[in-house]
């Protein structure tokens, strides 16, 4: 039996998302989710107008306009809850397909 894949969250760390509070979202996610979830930064998901952007690879889920107050909700989505519509309403279908393609190709990796 193989070990379970660790849960991961990726948050955009580019200029636009940081200017919208990505650093605060990152800190809130790390606090809310604890050690059970690895929270990483990612260079950019190319959805700058929708940031801060968060991607949960295991759920194939992209959340946009995430705030620090949404941290517990994001942790619940990692655990299997349905994402609230308000965190997906700004998602562009073409960008979502690109993000899911990155996940499916195994190209999503933490920044070094």
Rounded Cα–Cα distance for residues 36 and 52 (Å): 22
Q: Which tokens belong to 1?
A: 């039996």
Residue range 48-65, pLDDT digits in tens: 889 999 999 999 999 999
The tally of domains found in the chain comes to 1
Residue 51 domain-assigned (yes or no)? yes
Q: Which domain holds residue 36?
A: 7-104
CATH number at residue 50: 3.40.30.10
Contact 103/57 with Cβ under 8 angstroms?
yes
Residue 96 domain-assigned (yes or no)? yes
Residue 73 domain-assigned (yes or no)? yes
Residue 110 domain-assigned (yes or no)? no
Residue 48 domain-assigned (yes or no)? yes
Rounded Cα–Cα distance for residues 6 and 95 (Å): 25
Torsion of CA 60, 111, 87, 101, to 10 degrees: -30
pTM of the entire structure? 0.90
Residue range 78-106, pLDDT digits in tens: 999 999 999 999 999 999 999 999 999 98
Residue appearing with tokens 């948050």: 11
Residue 112 domain-assigned (yes or no)? no
């Amino acid at each position: 039996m193989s070990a379970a894949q660790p849960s991961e969250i990726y948050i955009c760390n580019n200029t636009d998302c940081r200017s919208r509070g990505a650093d605060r979202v990152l800190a809130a996610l790390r606090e809310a989710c604890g050690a059970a979830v690895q929270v990483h930064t990612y260079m950019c998901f190319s959805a700058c107008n929708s940031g801060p952007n968060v991607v949960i690879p295991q759920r194939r889920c992209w959340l946009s306009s995430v705030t620090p107050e949404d941290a517990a909700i994001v942790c619940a989505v990692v655990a299997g809850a349905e994402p609230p519509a308000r965190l997906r309403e700004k998602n562009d279908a073409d960008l979502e397909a690109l993000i899911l393609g990155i996940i499916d190709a195994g190209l999503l990796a933490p920044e070094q």
